[in-house]
Amino acid sequence: MGRNETRVTVVVASEDPVVYSYNPQNESVSVITIPRNTQVVASGGYGNWFVGSLWGLGIQEKKQGRILQNSVQKSLGIPIDAWVGPGGEILFNDRNLGLMGAIGEIIKLNNLETNLSFFDKVNLLVSVGRVGRFSRNEIPILKKNVLVEETFSDGVEGYEVVPERTVTELDSLRDDKVFAESKTLRVNNASGVSGLANEVSRVVSILGLRVISTENAKEKLNGEICVVSGKVQNLESVAGRRLAQIYKCRTYEVGDDGPFSLEITLGDRFVKEY
């Protein structure tokens, strides 16, 4: 990841998927356990799936944990930086290993499936191991009514996400570095698919940006996932880099960014990825 002192949020493909979010600003870890029978709209156009089945879908489609990562991100509105396969909880154990101990542990965990680099895994083991159990915050999304019980059309019982509850109940996961910069954002939906601007707004609001405008473009942006534009100092800010990294957007420098610091334009490939 290579980011200095910014929040790192990872989803682990446990039987009940778990989101771990490490905040280096106060050296704390927030933990969200998502019941396996929570129905979400899977990223990439795969339709409705139980979240506990998304790891298997990713393996089947040769996308590893990307479907799980992107689906959790858009359903809960949480910016997710990375995914880890089954057994990945070990990276977030309460163990103060030190640098050499962490390196040795990661070498032993060589077969752990993840898109984290070797350095990222070592950094998590060292950083999270210092936190201790008393600085771990379990976020009970059932008690907070982020999830509600539902009986689906096939008679199976499970849970559904309440989107409007995510921004208010999960805002503790914002990136303090991004929030401190007070950057404003316009979300421009040029994908040709309605509803994506609001979906992205939820995620970037929890990230720490202030969305001041959402709109649907008259013309589609073809051949792109997304483009983040703004003055060079805004593109190079923590907010600009985090925004582009989360959605894997191309960046484009402009001379005048008007009433907003940054703009994200969603292209026609966005829906195929997210």
String of DSSP letters for 103-126: HHHHHHTTT--BSS-HHHHHHHHH
Per-residue model confidence (pLDDT) at position 228? 98
| 166 belongs to a structural domain | no
| CATH number, domain containing residue 29 | 3.30.420.590
Average per-residue pLDDT for the chain: 91
Q: Is residue 212 part of a domain?
A: yes
Is 124 found in the same domain as 58? yes
Which residues of the chain, if any, have pLDDT below 70?
1-4, 95-96, 98, 100-102, 130-134, 257
Per-residue pLDDT tens over the stretch 29-72: 999 999 999 999 999 999 999 999 999 999 999 999 999 999 99
Residue 168 lies in a domain: no
The total domain count for the chain is: 2
Would you say residue 45 lies in a domain? Answer: yes
> Residue 194 sits in a domain of what CATH number?
3.30.70.2390
Same domain for 138 and 182?
no
What are 59's two structure tokens?
Answer: 């393996």
Closest by CA position to 8, among listed 142, 119, 168: 119
- Is-contact 29 95, C-beta < 8 A? no
pLDDT value at position 134? 54
Please report the pLDDT score of residue 11 as a whole number. Answer: 98
Q: By CB neighbour count within 10 A (0-12 exposed, 13-18 middle, 19+ buried), where does 181 fall?
A: middle
**Using one digit for the tens of pLDDT, what is the confidence trace for 231-244?**
999 999 999 999 99
Is 3 within a domain?
no
Q: Alpha-carbon distance 92 to 182, whole Å?
A: 30
What integer pLDDT is reported at residue 102 of this predicted model? 66
Q: Are residues 119 and 197 in the same domain?
A: no
Question: Is residue 169 domain-resident?
Answer: no
Q: Is residue 47 located within the same domain as residue 133?
A: yes
The whole-angstrom separation of Cα 85 and Cα 11 is 9
Residue-level pLDDT at 158: 95
List, for residues 108-118, the tens digit of each pLDDT value: 777 889 999 88
Say yes or no: 146 and 181 in one domain. Answer: no
Confidence at residue 111, expressed as pLDDT on a 0 to 100 scale: 84
Please indicate, yes or no, whether residues 145 and 12 belong to a single structural domain of this protein: yes
CA distance 17 to 93: 16
Residue 132: the pLDDT is 63
Query: Quick one: 116 and 178 in the same domain?
Result: no
Indicate whether 195 and 72 sit together in one domain.
no
Q: How many helices (DSSP H) and strands (DSSP E) are in the chain?
A: 10, 14
254 belongs to a structural domain: yes
- Kindly state whether residues 138 and 245 are assigned to the same domain: no
Domain hosting residue 138, numbered range? 8-157
Q: C-alpha distances in angstroms, 201 versus 82, 214, 264?
A: 20, 8, 10
Q: Are 246 and 189 in contact (CB under 8 A)?
A: no
Contact between residue 48 and residue 60 where contact means Cβ atoms under 8 Å apart: no
Could you tell me the sign of the dihedral formed by the alpha carbons of 53, 114, 79, 45, in that order? negative
